[in-house]
Amino acid sequence: MAGIADFLDSLIGGFDLICFSLVIGGLFWGLFVLRPWNNQNGYNAVLLQKTITLIYKGGFLLAAAQLFKIILKIWLMTAVLDRWPFPEFAGTAQFIGGVIRTLLTVFLAGYCYQYLSKNPFSRTHWVTAVVVAIPMIISGAWLVHAAGRFDNRLVLMSLTVIHQLAAAAWIGGIFQLVNLWLLKQSKLVPAELWPLMLRRFSKFGIASVAMILISGLPIALQYIDTWNGLVGTGYGNLLMVKITLLSLALGFAWLNKSAVFENGVSGNSYALNNRVPYYIEAETFVLITLLFTAASLASQPPAIDIPTLTASWQEVLNTFSPQIPQTSSPSHIALIAGEAGRVAIIDQVPSIAATEWSNYNHNIAGIFLTTMSFFAMLSYIKHLPSAFSAFDKYLPLTRYWPLGFVFLGIFLFFRSDAETWPLGPIGFWESTFNNGEVLQHRIATLLVFVLGIIELSARLTKNPGSKLPFVFPLLAAFGGLMLLTHSHVGFQAKSTFLIQVGHTTMGIFSLILACGRWLELKLDKPGKEIAGFISVAALFQIGIILMFYREPLY
């Protein structure tokens, strides 16, 4: 069961940050954006109660997540040490800090539930709630990297708390904007609140992002001391992923701000009501993924601490160099024969058969994806150039491209983990729950198969009111999240890191795939076609990465 506990540790870390953003972002939203004590804004009880409900529910869930993290650590240590970890664990900062933060979070959520929800227009209660939140925020300083360092500990702990606070303020505010839009669509709040809150949050968001950058830069410089540390370690790689995701989110934020500015200058509210809400939804995808990436980053040792496990930028670049795909696979007997030496703790012997088996799996999967995404891109073309006009009649067939996912899922079912059931000697349940990587492979295989069935049905069935098409971007976003939290072992071998670089890169493109498809379903023309093409182009890029995939032999 240690495998599933290790996998859950990454997921619960991301969920913890989402709940933290709901609480802190919601409080800041009320104090600096809503300002409900100003009656002239025309707020109603529905908006304030929904806002406060998100705050205290987020608080209770945050406390539960923090408690579950403690239980998970006890579970992991018991599995690894083969004994009960107490009383030693009870004296650690992780245990003490986690328990204190849980209690402080329950107190904060209880205050919001008992007092703030009954006095939503009271400035005093909003300010008091923020004051009550301060000890909980500070307690998180003992649960971050900086708490275990000997140099600049206090400065780094303070900067990390400020960084988390600024991120929660921004991301939690985005969650509240989504909430406001849903209430507006249901006609539960006045329509004029939407542009007003967008204008206010635009300024607040800029201040939050500025604080994220100001606090994050010195932390990064302290933990990463070389360019190779940035590109050649798990910590540096995930930091680059965070920067990429932040850039994507800021791109959506710029589109939103441009629409707000246009509305302020010309009074034209078309983009404000017909595009901005969907940009915000896509931005939410990005920010949620960013939080899970941040949780994975927290489990990584800083690059400055592992100079002997750092890959060079040339080695990282080489993992993406074009190579002829491997289209022949070693036999299953040869693979199993080399497993004992490959997994040995002492005198480990690399298995060429295992490496070639993995290369074959990835390369064939890449061929699947590049082929189907090529046809997917063709499906956005109405007419081929005159030289190929004879093939125009075949263009309608390109909409069947999601069938490729179904065949890929079947392929992965038999090939992804050959040492386990159905091909190998290790049973299904034993391998699934004792190996976090196998568990993720099983989930990914099921995801690919289901994704193909659903997307094919969605594209062939023209039902304007159907919610079926929205399953594809949601599953694609979840797939990207899985890739970005894919077995990031702390002190991993260089070869393991070089494999994971490809996973994180594909995770980013999976998120672009999800956002593009979501916006294709939501936007009007011409943004609809542009977003759709970007979506399948991202799928094509994932296929290229897989087609050139090679595992290092050392």
Residue 63: its pLDDT value, please? 97
Does the structure show a pLDDT above 80 at 143? Answer: yes
Instruction: List, as one string, the DSSP characters of 242-296.
Output: HHHHHHHHHHHHHHHHHHHHHHHHH---HHHHHTHHHHHHHHHHHHHHHHHHHHH
Residue 2: its pLDDT value, please? 52
Exposed, middle or buried: residue 472 (CB in 10 Å: 0-12, 13-18, 19+)? buried
> Packing angle between helix 234-266 and helix 494-522, nearest 10 degrees?
20
Residue 392: band (very low, low, confident or very high) from pLDDT cuts 50, 70, 90 = low
**Rounded CA separation 237/303 (Å):** 10
The single-letter DSSP state of residue 142 is: G
**Rounded CA separation 480/503 (Å):** 9
* Residues of the chain above pLDDT 90, percent: 50
Cβ-count burial 140-178 (b if 16+ within 10 Å, e if not): bbbbbbbbebeeeeeebbebbbbbbbbbbbbbbbbbbbe
Residue 278 tokens read as 């969907």
The single-letter DSSP state of residue 465 is: T
Does the structure show a pLDDT above 70 at 5? Answer: no
Contacts 24+ apart (CB under 8 A), 457-462: 459/399, 459/402, 460/399, 460/400
Q: What is the pLDDT of residues 249-266, one digit of tens each?
A: 999 999 999 999 888 888
Residue 487: its pLDDT value, please? 53
Residue 441: band (very low, low, confident or very high) from pLDDT cuts 50, 70, 90 = confident
Work out the mean pLDDT of the chain and round it to a whole number: 87
Residue 107: its pLDDT value, please? 97
Q: Which of the given ranges, 22-31, 150-159, 468-477, has the highest pLDDT on average?
A: 22-31
- Identify which has the larger pLDDT, 462 or 201: 201
Least confident of 52-61, 292-301, 389-398, 526-535: 389-398
Preceding peptide of 402 cis, ω within 30°: no
Exposed, middle or buried: residue 282 (CB in 10 Å: 0-12, 13-18, 19+)? buried
* Residues of the chain above pLDDT 70, percent: 91
Residue 11: band (very low, low, confident or very high) from pLDDT cuts 50, 70, 90 = confident
**pTM to 2 decimal places:** 0.90
Q: What is the pLDDT of residues 197-225, one digit of tens each?
A: 999 999 899 999 999 999 999 999 999 98
Does the structure show a pLDDT above 70 at 488? Answer: no
Residue 159: its pLDDT value, please? 95
- Identify which has the larger pLDDT, 428 or 247: 247
User: Is the Cβ–Cβ distance between 545 and 370 less than 8 Å?
Assistant: no
Least confident of 165-169, 217-221, 377-381, 416-420: 416-420
Residue 467: band (very low, low, confident or very high) from pLDDT cuts 50, 70, 90 = confident
The rounded Cα 12 to chain-centroid distance in angstroms is 12
Taking residues 235-262, report their average pLDDT: 93
Taking residues 478-490, report their average pLDDT: 74
Residue 320: its pLDDT value, please? 87
Residue 530: band (very low, low, confident or very high) from pLDDT cuts 50, 70, 90 = very high
User: Is the Cβ–Cβ distance between 5 and 47 less than 8 Å?
Assistant: no
Exposed, middle or buried: residue 530 (CB in 10 Å: 0-12, 13-18, 19+)? middle
Taking residues 302-321, report their average pLDDT: 87
Residue 451: its pLDDT value, please? 87
Taking residues 23-44, report their average pLDDT: 84
Residues in Cβ contact with 418 at an 8 Å cutoff, skipping those fewer than 6 apart: 332, 335, 336, 357, 424
User: For tokens 């083969």, what's the residue?
Assistant: 82
Does the structure show a pLDDT above 90 at 334? Answer: no
Smallest CA-to-CA distance from 507 within 168, 200, 245 is with 245
Taking residues 290-313, report their average pLDDT: 87
Taking residues 71-80, report their average pLDDT: 83
Q: Which of the given ranges, 62-76, 143-157, 277-291, has the highest pLDDT on average?
A: 277-291
Residue 43: band (very low, low, confident or very high) from pLDDT cuts 50, 70, 90 = low
User: Is the Cβ–Cβ distance between 187 and 46 less than 8 Å?
Assistant: no
Least confident of 64-68, 325-329, 337-341, 464-468: 337-341
**Rounded CA separation 517/476 (Å):** 9
Residue 461: its pLDDT value, please? 81
